[in-house]
C-alpha cells in the first residue's frame, strides 16, 4: 500500500506523517502540561477564565490521544522499519532502535494511565486520581527524550526551535509550580495551624 | 399509672418550696462519686429489655420529656436516637465529655460529682440503640475519676455493654461530634465535614450516637422517673434543669444546676450575685452571644426568653469597668487560632475578623464595613459550625457594645482594656 | 412535583480554585479570599447542564449535586439522593 503511495508521488507518506505527527504531538503535549500547571497555579492570563483553561487542557489532551494513534499506526505500518504491534505498549520490545522507541512507549504507558484515571476520576476519588496524575511529569520528559532520539530532524532550524522551545516552556511551568508550593507551604505555616500567643491590648486604647 | 412498664415517680415540688435544684448534682458541695452513694440517692436503674417495644417506649418517653442536647446545639435527643436506630449496622455510643470550651466546667464537675449518672445514661442509650460498645471521652482533668467509676461498675457487672474511657484532645473544636469520632479513630481532633452525619456513619463507618455527658445524665433520670417528672421543672418549650458555669464579676463563681426559665438575676444570685454593676452577659460559650445587662437580667433564662441559644451553659457576668471590645478581640483571636484550618473561610476569614476586631479595640479600626460583611458572609460556609460561632460572638458584640464601638472608632476607650474577665488558655494548650 | 437539584460544596476539599464561580456566576460568587459563596443552592432547570459541568471541572472534586425528591408545597425536603458527585467518602 505504501509502496503504491511512494510510487505514485515519490514521497514516503507514512513515514512523513509519522514523523510530522510526532513533532506536533510534542508541541501539543507541551501545551497540555503548561495548561495543566496553569490551572493549578491559577496563573492564566486574565482574558482566559480558569474553567476555559481547564477545558482546553482536557480537550487538547484528548486531541493529542487521537493524534497519538495516528503517529503510532503510521509508524508501525511504514514498511521501511520493522516495529511490531506489541512495541506500542511494551517498552524496548522492538528490534528497530529499541531505546528510542522504548522511551516513546513508556511515555505512552504513563500518559495512558493519566488519561484513563482522569476519565474515571469521579469514580476513583480525588486522591487516587491525583497520585496517578503525577506520572504526567514523568511522561513528558520521556516523550521529549523519544523526540530527540527517534526524531532526528534537529538539523532543520525550525524543528530544533520547536523542540527546544517546548522544553523551555515546560521548564518554566514546572519551575513556577515548584516555587508556588514552597510559597504556599510558608503561608500555611504562618496562618491557622500554629497557635500564636494572645496579644495584649496596648495601653494606647485608653484615653485620647 | 404505669402504661409501659416504666415506674413513674413524679417528684415535682410546688414552686414555692423549690430552692435549689439538685437533680443532677447532689446538694451543696457533696459528691456522689461512689457507686454505693449513687444507688442510695437515685435507686437502681430499671432493667433494660432487649425488645423493639422497649426501645420504642424509651425513645417515645425521651421525646415526650423534650430532652435536647446539652453540648451546645440543643438537638432533640429522641430524634438522634431514632436516626441511629434506623441504621442497620452495629451502633456505637460516645459519651462526649471533651468540654473544649475553656471557660465551661459543667461537664468536668458532673463527671467528678456524679459520674454514675452519666454512665447510667450511656448504658441506657447503648441499650436503646443496641450498641456494642460505649466510649466515654473525657477531659484529662477528670480521667482518673471516671476510670474509678467505670472500674466500680465493672466489678458490680452493672452494664451489658463494655465501657471504655478515652482522654479527650485539648482543643476548642475537639468537642464537636465528628471531631470526637475523628479523635478516637485517627487521633485527629478536627471535624470531618457534613455528609454523612455521625448517626449514619461515624466511628469505623458505624452509626454513632454522640451525646454530651450532661444529656446522658438527664437521660438516666428520665429512665428512672419518666417524662412527666422531667417536665415538672422548666418551661413548656424548654423543660427540665440544666447545668451552667457562672463566671465573671460574681461573688461565688462556679457550676450550678438551675431550672430553665428562672430569671437571669436569680441565676446569678445562685453564684452570690454580681460583685459590681454589670454591663453585659456572655451566654452560651465563646461561640455564644453577648447580651446587654438591661433588660437581660430580668428575662427568663431560656433560649426563648433570651432570644439566644443557651449553648454550653456558660454565663459570664461582664462588669461595667471592663472593655467589651477588648475582651471580644481576645476571644476572636483565640477562636481564630483554634480553627482546625481545614477550610478556606475559617483559615482566612477568622484571622481577618480577629485582626479587625483587635484594631477596633486598639482604636485604629479602618475596615468596619468589611468586618460586618465578613461576619455575614462566613455563616454556614465552614466545614463545621466554628466560624458561625465566631460570627455570632462578634456580631453580638458589635450590637451590644455599639456605644463602645463608636468610642473606639474615635480612638478612645472608657473601659479597662487590660482587665481580662474571661480565661483564655495560653498558646500551646495543645 | 419537580425534580430539581441542589449544588453543595465540600468545604474541606475546596481550595478556592475559582472555576465554579466562573461557570455558574448566577449561583456562586467568591469571598475576599477566593472561596465560594453559594448564593442560591437550588439549581434552575436551564442551568442544570452547566451545573453538571461545574461538578465535572472542579479540580478538587469538591462539588456535588443532590436531587430533591418529592418537594411538596410546604417545601419540606423528604429525601435527598446524590445525583452527581466528585466527592467520595475517605
DSSP string, C46-64: GGHHHHHHHHHH-TT--EE
For residue B4, the model assigns a pLDDT of 42
Dump strand ranges (E) for B168-319. Answer: 208-212, 241-248, 254-259, 278-284, 289-292, 314-319
Q: What is the pLDDT averaged over residues A107-123?
A: 93
Which of A39, A55, A122 lies closest to C61 in CB terms? A122
Task: Please answer yes or no on whether A205 and B429 come within 8 Å at the CB atom.
Answer: no
B280 vs B292: CA distance, rounded Å: 4
**Quick check: is B253 in a domain?**
yes
Q: Count other C-beta atoms under 10 Å from residue B123's C-beta.
A: 27
B409 vs A205: CA distance, rounded Å: 11
User: A86 or B232: which carries more pLDDT confidence?
Assistant: B232
Dump strand ranges (E) for B239-372. Answer: 241-248, 254-259, 278-284, 289-292, 314-319
Residue in C with minimal Cα distance to B344: C35
Within 8 A of A55 by CB-CB distance, chain C residues are: 57
Computed over its alpha carbons, how large is the radius of gyration of chain C? 13
Q: Count other C-beta atoms under 10 Å from residue B371's C-beta.
A: 19
- Could you tell me which residues come within 8 angstroms of residue B387 by beta carbon, excluding any fewer than 6 positions away? B339, B345, B346, B349, B350, B378, B379, B381
Is B40 found in the same domain as B178?
A: yes
The CATH number covering residue C56 comes to 3.30.70.20
Dihedral of alpha carbons C8, C13, C15, C19, sign: negative
For residue A42, the model assigns a pLDDT of 63
Is B95 found in the same domain as B219?
A: yes
Closest CA to A129 of A115, A144, A143: A115
Residue A25 and residue A65 in contact, taking contact as beta carbons nearer than 8 Å: no
Is B215 found in the same domain as B250?
A: no
In this prediction, residue A131 has a pLDDT band, given cuts at 50, 70 and 90, of: very high
Within 8 A of C54 by CB-CB distance, chain A residues are: 51
Q: What is the pLDDT averaged over residues A73-78?
A: 87
Within 8 A of A40 by CB-CB distance, chain C residues are: 59
Determine contact: A8 vs chain B, CB below 8 A: no
Task: Please answer yes or no on whether A201 and B412 come within 8 Å at the CB atom.
Answer: no
Question: What residue spans of B114-250 are helical by DSSP H?
Answer: 115-129, 143-155, 177-186, 213-231
**Quick check: is B192 in a domain?**
yes
Is B201 found in the same domain as B84?
A: yes
* Mean pLDDT of the residues in chain C: 80
Determine contact: A54 vs chain C, CB below 8 A: yes
User: B24 or C3: which carries more pLDDT confidence?
Assistant: B24
Which three-class secondary structure state does DSSP give residue B62? helix
For residue A13, the model assigns a pLDDT of 85
For residue B32, the model assigns a pLDDT of 87
In this prediction, residue C13 has a pLDDT band, given cuts at 50, 70 and 90, of: very high
User: Which residue, among A201, A204, A206, A208, would best test binding to B if mutated, counting the most B CBs under 10 Å from its CB?
Assistant: A201
- Which range marks the domain in which residue B402 is found? 324-409
SS (H, E, C) A86-100: HHHCCCCCCCCCHHH
Dihedral of alpha carbons C59, C62, C63, C69, sign: positive
**Quick check: is B417 in a domain?**
no
Within 8 A of B347 by CB-CB distance, chain A residues are: 191-192
Determine contact: C35 vs chain B, CB below 8 A: yes
In what helix (H) or strand (E) does residue B249 lie, and over which residues does it extend?
none
Which of C12, C15, C89 lies closest to B383 in CB terms? C12
B380 vs C80: CA distance, rounded Å: 19
Residue in B with minimal Cα distance to A196: B427
User: Which residue, among A194, A198, A199, would best test binding to B if mutated, counting the most B CBs under 10 Å from its CB?
Assistant: A198
| Eight-class DSSP state of A85 | G
Is B355 found in the same domain as B298?
A: no
Within 8 A of A206 by CB-CB distance, chain B residues are: 412-413, 416-417
Task: Please answer yes or no on whether C59 and A54 come within 8 Å at the CB atom.
Answer: yes
**Quick check: is B13 in a domain?**
no
- Chain B residues with CB under 8 Å of a chain A CB are 323, 326, 329-330, 333-334, 336-341, 346-348, 350-351, 358, 361-363, 408, 410-413, 416-418, 424, 426-430
Determine contact: C49 vs chain B, CB below 8 A: no
SS (H, E, C) B71-97: CCCCCEHHHHHHHHHCCCCCEEEEEEE
Task: Please answer yes or no on whether C31 and B201 come within 8 Å at the CB atom.
Answer: no
C17 vs C7: CA distance, rounded Å: 17
- Could you tell me which residues come within 8 angstroms of residue B403 by beta carbon, excluding any fewer than 6 positions away? none
**Quick check: is C42 in a domain?**
yes
pLDDT at A163 over 90: yes
**Quick check: is B340 in a domain?**
yes
B343 vs B354: CA distance, rounded Å: 17
Number of domains chain C is built from: 1
In this prediction, residue A10 has a pLDDT band, given cuts at 50, 70 and 90, of: low
Residue in C with minimal Cα distance to A56: C57
* pLDDT tens across the length of chain B (430 residues): 333 444 444 444 444 444 578 899 988 778 889 999 999 999 999 998 888 999 999 999 999 999 999 999 899 999 999 999 998 789 999 999 999 999 999 999 999 999 999 999 999 999 999 999 999 999 999 999 999 999 999 999 999 999 999 999 999 999 999 999 999 999 999 998 867 888 888 999 899 999 999 999 999 999 999 999 999 999 999 999 999 999 999 999 999 999 999 999 999 999 999 999 999 999 999 999 999 999 999 999 999 999 999 999 999 999 999 999 999 999 999 999 999 989 999 999 999 999 999 999 998 888 999 999 999 999 999 999 999 999 999 999 999 999 999 999 988 888 776 778 999 887 643 3
Dihedral of alpha carbons B407, B411, B415, B420, sign: positive
Residue B150 and residue B165 in contact, taking contact as beta carbons nearer than 8 Å: yes
User: A24 or A78: which carries more pLDDT confidence?
Assistant: A24
Largest CA distance in chain B: 68
Number of domains chain B is built from: 3
Sort residue B7 into left (φ over 0), alpha (ψ -120 to 50) or beta: beta
Closest CA to B338 of B140, B119, B204, B191: B191
Q: What is the pLDDT averaged over residues C59-76?
A: 71
Burial (Cβ within 10 Å: 0-12, 13-18, ≥19) of residue B124: buried
From residue B419, give the alpha-carbon distance in Å to each of A200, B10, B208, B317, C29.
10, 47, 43, 14, 41
For residue B427, the model assigns a pLDDT of 60
Residue B242 and residue B270 in contact, taking contact as beta carbons nearer than 8 Å: no
Residue in C with minimal Cα distance to B350: C33
Domain boundary among B274, B298, B319: B319
Closest CA to A169 of A8, A64, A56, A37: A37
Is B290 found in the same domain as B180?
A: no
Residue B192 and residue B182 in contact, taking contact as beta carbons nearer than 8 Å: yes
Q: Count other C-beta atoms under 10 Å from residue B102's C-beta.
A: 18
Q: How many separate helices (H) and strands (E) can be counted in chain C?
A: 2, 6
* Mean pLDDT of the residues in chain A: 80
Phi, psi values for residue A146, rounded to 5°: -60, -40
B66 vs B239: CA distance, rounded Å: 7
Min distance A166 CA to chain C CA atoms (Å): 25
Is B347 found in the same domain as B244?
A: no
Min distance B351 CA to chain A CA atoms (Å): 8
Residue B139 and residue B108 in contact, taking contact as beta carbons nearer than 8 Å: yes
Which three-class secondary structure state does DSSP give residue B201? coil
Min distance A70 CA to chain B CA atoms (Å): 45
Task: Please answer yes or no on whether A54 and C18 come within 8 Å at the CB atom.
Answer: no
Closest CA to C72 of C13, C18, C4, C11: C4
Q: What is the pLDDT averaged over residues A145-165?
A: 88
Residue in C with minimal Cα distance to A54: C57
Against chain C, the chains showing at least 3 CB pairs within 8 Å are: A, B
Lowest mean pLDDT among A2-16, B44-58, C40-54: A2-16
How many CB pairs below 8 A link B and C? 44
The label of the residue with cell 480525588 reads: A126
In this prediction, residue C82 has a pLDDT band, given cuts at 50, 70 and 90, of: low
Min distance A67 CA to chain C CA atoms (Å): 24
Is B205 found in the same domain as B97?
A: yes
Residue in A with minimal Cα distance to B346: A192
Phi, psi values for residue B278, rounded to 5°: -105, 150
**Quick check: is C75 in a domain?**
no
Q: Count other C-beta atoms under 10 Å from residue B41's C-beta.
A: 15
Is B306 found in the same domain as B163?
A: no
- Which range marks the domain in which residue C48 is found? 5-68
Determine contact: A197 vs chain C, CB below 8 A: no
- Chain B residues with CB under 8 Å of a chain C CB are 192-193, 196, 201, 342-345, 348-349, 352, 370, 374, 377-378, 381-383
Residue B105 and residue B236 in contact, taking contact as beta carbons nearer than 8 Å: no
Task: Please answer yes or no on whether A54 and C19 come within 8 Å at the CB atom.
Answer: yes
Closest CA to B252 of B273, B276, B282: B273
Is B173 found in the same domain as B246?
A: no
In this prediction, residue A152 has a pLDDT band, given cuts at 50, 70 and 90, of: confident
Is B196 found in the same domain as B172?
A: yes
- Could you tell me which residues come within 8 angstroms of residue B303 by beta carbon, excluding any fewer than 6 positions away? B74, B238, B309, B310
A121 vs C70: CA distance, rounded Å: 30
Task: Please answer yes or no on whether B417 and A192 come within 8 Å at the CB atom.
Answer: no
Residue C4 and residue C45 in contact, taking contact as beta carbons nearer than 8 Å: yes
Is B84 found in the same domain as B212?
A: yes
Which of B333, B341, B426 lies closest to A199 in CB terms? B333
User: Which residue, among A126, A128, A181, would best test binding to C if mutated, counting the most C CBs under 10 Å from its CB?
Assistant: A126
Phi, psi values for residue C32, rounded to 5°: -65, -15
In this prediction, residue A142 has a pLDDT band, given cuts at 50, 70 and 90, of: very high
From residue C77, give the alpha-carbon distance in Å to each of C70, C71, C73, C82.
7, 6, 10, 14
| Residue A184 grid coordinates | 504556599
Reported as a single tens digit per residue, the pLDDT across A21-74 is 999 999 999 999 999 988 777 665 667 888 888 999 999 999 999 999 999 999
B284 vs B262: CA distance, rounded Å: 16
Lowest mean pLDDT among A164-168, A201-205, B57-61, B110-114: A201-205
| Residue B368 grid coordinates | 468596619
| Residue B136 grid coordinates | 466515654
**Quick check: is B202 in a domain?**
yes
A119 vs A88: CA distance, rounded Å: 21
For residue B14, the model assigns a pLDDT of 43
Pairing of strands B91-97, B131-138: parallel
Which of A195, A198, A206 lies closest to B417 in CB terms? A206
Amino acid at each position: 500500500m505504501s509502496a503504491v503511495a511512494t510510487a505514485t508521488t515519490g514521497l514516503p507518506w507514512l513515514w512523513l506523517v509519522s514523523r510530522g505527527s510526532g513533532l506536533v504531538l510534542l508541541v501539543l503535549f507541551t501545551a497540555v502540561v503548561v495548561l495543566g500547571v496553569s490551572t493549578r497555579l491559577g496563573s492564566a492570563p486574565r482574558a482566559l477564565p480558569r474553567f476555559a483553561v481547564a477545558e482546553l487542557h482536557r480537550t487538547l489532551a484528548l486531541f493529542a490521544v487521537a493524534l497519538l494513534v495516528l503517529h503510532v499506526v503510521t509508524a508501525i505500518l511504514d514498511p521501511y522499519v520493522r516495529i511490531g504491534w506489541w512495541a506500542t505498549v511494551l517498552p524496548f520490545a522492538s528490534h528497530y532502535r529499541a531505546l528510542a522507541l522504548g522511551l516513546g512507549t513508556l511515555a505512552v504507558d504513563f500518559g495512558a494511565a493519566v488519561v484513563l484515571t482522569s476519565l474515571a476520576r469521579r469514580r476513583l476519588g480525588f486522591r487516587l486520581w491525583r497520585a496517578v496524575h503525577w506520572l504526567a511529569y514523568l511522561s513528558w520528559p520521556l516523550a521529549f527524550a523519544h523526540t530527540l532520539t527517534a526524531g532526528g530532524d534537529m538539523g532543520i532550524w525550525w524543528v530544533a526551535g520547536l523542540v527546544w522551545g517546548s522544553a523551555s516552556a515546560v521548564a518554566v511551568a514546572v519551575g513556577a509550580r515548584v516555587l508556588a508550593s514552597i510559597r504556599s507551604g510558608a503561608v500555611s505555616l504562618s496562618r491557622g495551624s500554629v497557635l500564636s500567643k494572645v496579644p495584649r491590648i496596648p495601653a494606647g486604647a485608653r484615653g485620647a | 399509672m404505669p402504661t409501659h412498664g416504666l415506674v413513674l415517680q413524679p417528684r415535682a415540688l410546688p414552686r414555692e418550696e423549690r430552692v435549689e435544684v439538685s437533680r443532677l448534682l447532689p446538694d451543696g458541695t457533696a459528691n456522689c462519686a461512689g457507686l454505693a452513694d449513687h444507688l442510695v440517692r437515685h435507686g437502681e436503674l430499671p432493667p433494660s429489655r432487649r425488645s423493639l417495644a422497649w426501645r420504642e417506649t424509651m425513645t417515645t418517653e425521651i421525646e415526650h420529656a423534650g430532652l435536647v442536647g446539652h453540648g451546645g446545639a440543643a438537638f432533640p435527643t429522641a430524634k438522634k436516637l431514632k436516626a441511629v436506630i434506623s441504621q442497620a449496622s452495629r451502633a456505637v455510643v460516645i459519651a462526649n465529655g471533651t468540654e473544649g470550651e475553656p471557660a465551661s466546667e459543667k461537664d468536668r464537675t458532673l463527671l467528678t460529682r456524679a459520674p454514675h449518672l452519666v454512665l447510667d445514661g450511656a448504658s441506657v442509650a447503648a441499650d436503646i440503640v443496641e450498641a456494642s460498645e460505649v466510649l466515654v471521652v473525657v477531659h484529662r482533668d477528670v480521667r482518673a475519676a471516671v476510670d474509678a467509676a467505670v472500674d466500680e461498675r465493672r466489678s458490680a457487672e452493672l452494664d451489658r455493654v463494655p465501657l471504655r474511657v478515652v482522654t479527650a484532645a485539648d482543643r476548642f473544636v475537639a468537642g464537636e461530634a465528628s471531631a470526637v469520632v475523628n479523635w478516637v479513630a485517627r487521633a485527629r481532633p478536627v471535624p470531618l465535614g457534613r455528609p454523612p452525619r455521625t448517626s449514619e456513619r461515624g466511628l469505623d463507618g458505624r452509626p454513632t450516637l454522640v451525646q454530651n455527658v450532661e444529656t446522658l445524665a438527664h437521660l438516666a433520670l428520665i429512665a428512672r422517673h419518666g417524662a412527666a417528672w422531667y417536665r415538672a421543672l422548666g418551661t413548656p418549650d424548654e423543660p427540665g434543669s440544666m447545668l451552667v458555669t457562672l463566671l465573671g464579676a460574681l461573688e461565688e463563681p462556679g457550676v450550678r444546676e438551675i431550672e430553665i426559665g428562672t430569671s437571669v438575676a436569680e441565676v446569678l444570685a445562685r453564684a452570690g450575685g454580681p460583685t459590681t454593676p454589670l454591663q453585659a452577659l456572655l451566654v452560651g460559650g465563646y461561640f455564644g452571644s453577648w447580651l446587654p445587662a438591661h433588660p437581660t437580667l430580668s428575662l427568663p433564662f431560656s433560649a426563648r426568653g433570651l432570644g439566644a441559644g443557651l449553648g454550653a451553659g456558660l454565663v459570664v457576668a461582664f462588669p461595667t469597668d471592663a472593655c467589651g471590645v477588648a475582651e471580644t478581640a481576645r476571644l476572636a483571636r483565640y477562636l481564630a487560632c483554634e480553627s482546625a484550618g481545614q477550610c478556606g473561610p475559617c483559615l482566612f476569614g477568622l484571622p481577618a475578623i480577629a485582626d479587625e476586631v483587635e484594631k477596633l479595640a486598639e482604636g485604629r479600626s479602618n475596615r468596619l464595613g468589611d468586618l460586618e460583611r465578613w461576619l455575614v458572609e462566613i455563616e454556614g460556609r465552614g466545614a463545621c459550625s466554628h466560624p458561625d460561632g465566631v460570627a455570632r460572638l462578634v456580631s453580638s458584640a458589635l450590637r451590644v457594645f455599639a456605644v463602645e464601638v463608636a468610642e473606639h472608632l474615635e480612638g478612645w476607650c472608657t473601659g479597662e482594656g487590660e482587665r481580662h474577665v474571661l480565661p483564655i488558655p495560653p498558646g500551646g494548650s495543645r | 412535583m419537580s425534580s430539581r437539584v441542589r449544588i453543595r460544596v465540600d468545604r474541606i476539599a475546596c481550595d478556592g480554585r475559582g472555576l465554579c464561580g466562573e461557570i455558574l456566576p448566577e449561583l456562586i460568587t467568591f469571598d475576599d479570599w477566593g472561596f465560594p459563596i453559594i448564593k442560591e443552592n437550588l439549581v434552575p432547570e436551564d442551568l442544570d447542564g452547566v451545573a453538571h459541568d461545574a461538578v465535572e471541572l472542579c479540580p478538587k472534586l469538591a462539588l456535588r449535586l443532590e436531587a430533591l425528591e418529592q418537594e411538596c408545597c410546604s417545601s419540606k425536603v423528604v429525601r435527598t439522593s446524590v445525583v452527581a458527585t466528585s466527592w467520595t467518602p475517605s
